[in-house]
Every structure is written in C-alpha cells, then in structure tokens.
Structure 1
Amino acid sequence: MNEADALDVVRNAIWTILIASGPSVGVAMLVGIVIALLQALTQVQETTLTFVPKIVAVLVVCALTGSFMGSQIMTFTEEIYGRIGSGF
C-alpha cells in the first residue's frame, strides 16, 4: 500500500460518511432552523422544544433512509475487503 492507495481509501471513507449521514444531518439542521425561527417569533425559550422534535425527525429519517445508508456503508466495506484480498 502506497500513499496514493491510503489517500484513496481515506477519501472514499470520508465521502461515504458524508453521503450516509447527509439525510439525517440535513433534516436536523432544517428542523433546528424552523424551531429557532418559531422560538424567535413567539419568544418561547423552552429548552426541550429544541431537542425533542430534532430527535423525532432524525429517527424518522433514519427509519426511512436506513437501507440507503446501509447500502452505502456495505459498498464501501466490500471495496475495502476487495482491496485487502487483492493486496491493495
């Protein structure tokens, strides 16, 4: 394994992490912005109001996109195992 192979593996790992976690992080950001706007408009500063909707939204997105996330991680894992089997 040379530097180019190691860099390629790290690049693919980071890309897989970004793609797999993207839907959950995106929904958490969107829900956070909506809740912050709601709190700013109504001046209700309840701390649990920020956490509970985010948790519910992320769980729903994980349930809906779990197969997509799993397939992305599985593809990366198979690529790594293939590289190990061929000696990089």
Structure 2
Amino acid sequence: MDQSIVMDVAQRAISLAVMISAPILGLGLLVGLLVSIIQATTQIQEATLSFIPKLITILLTLIIFGPWMGNMITEFTINLYENIHTYIR
C-alpha cells in the first residue's frame, strides 16, 4: 500500500470526524457561553449550573443531526470497503 493512499484515507477520515462533531461542539459551546454570561450578570457562580443546559443541548443536537451523522459515517465506510481493492496492490 502506498503512503499517499494512507494519507488520503486518513485525511478524509479526519475531515469527516471534524464535520460530524462540528454541530455538537458548536451548539455546546454556544449554550455554555450563554450560561456563562447569565452566571456573570447574576453573580451566581455555581459550577454545575452549566452542565444541565449543555447536556440537554447535546442530546437534542444528537436527535436532530443523528441520522445525518449516521449516513455520513455509513457512506464513508461503504466507500472505503468498495474501494479497498484499489488500495491493496
């Protein structure tokens, strides 16, 4: 197997991982920032206060984007298995 093939597959896998994790991380970051702003303005400094809104947001994000994420991973895996004969020489 050629090194360029390995690098291409690894690059596509990393790109897919970033694309799939972006909605979860982005919305979690946004909710965490909003809760932090609310905590700063009300001077409520409870560390566990931001946990529940972020947990709910991530759960809802997984429910909404879950099918899309699953399809992307499935397409990548099917493409990898279909083209495995071109990788091995």
1:1-88 alignment, distance < 5 Å: 1-84=1-84, 86-88=85-87
Give the Å deviation of 1:87: 3.9
Q: Please give the root-mean-square deviation of Cα atoms over the aligned residues, in Å.
A: 0.9
Shift >4 Å, 4+ stretches: none
**Within 1, Cα distance between the matches of 2:74 and 2:25?**
20
Identity, in percent, stands at: 36
Taking structure 2 as the reference length, what is the TM-score of the superposition?
A: 0.92
d(CA) in 1 for partners of 2:65, 2:44 = 32
Distance 2:13 2:78 in 1: 12
How far residue 47 of structure 1 moved from its aligned partner, in angstroms, is 1.5
Which segments of 5 or more consecutive residues in structure 1 lack a partner in the other structure? none
Alignment length, in residue pairs? 87
Q: What amino acid is the match of 1:6?
A: V
- Scaled by the length of structure 1, what TM-score is found? 0.93
Q: Distance in 1 between matches of 2:82 and 2:45?
A: 52
Distance in 1 (alpha carbons) for counterparts of 2:15 and 2:86: 22
Q: 1:83 Cα shift?
A: 2.4
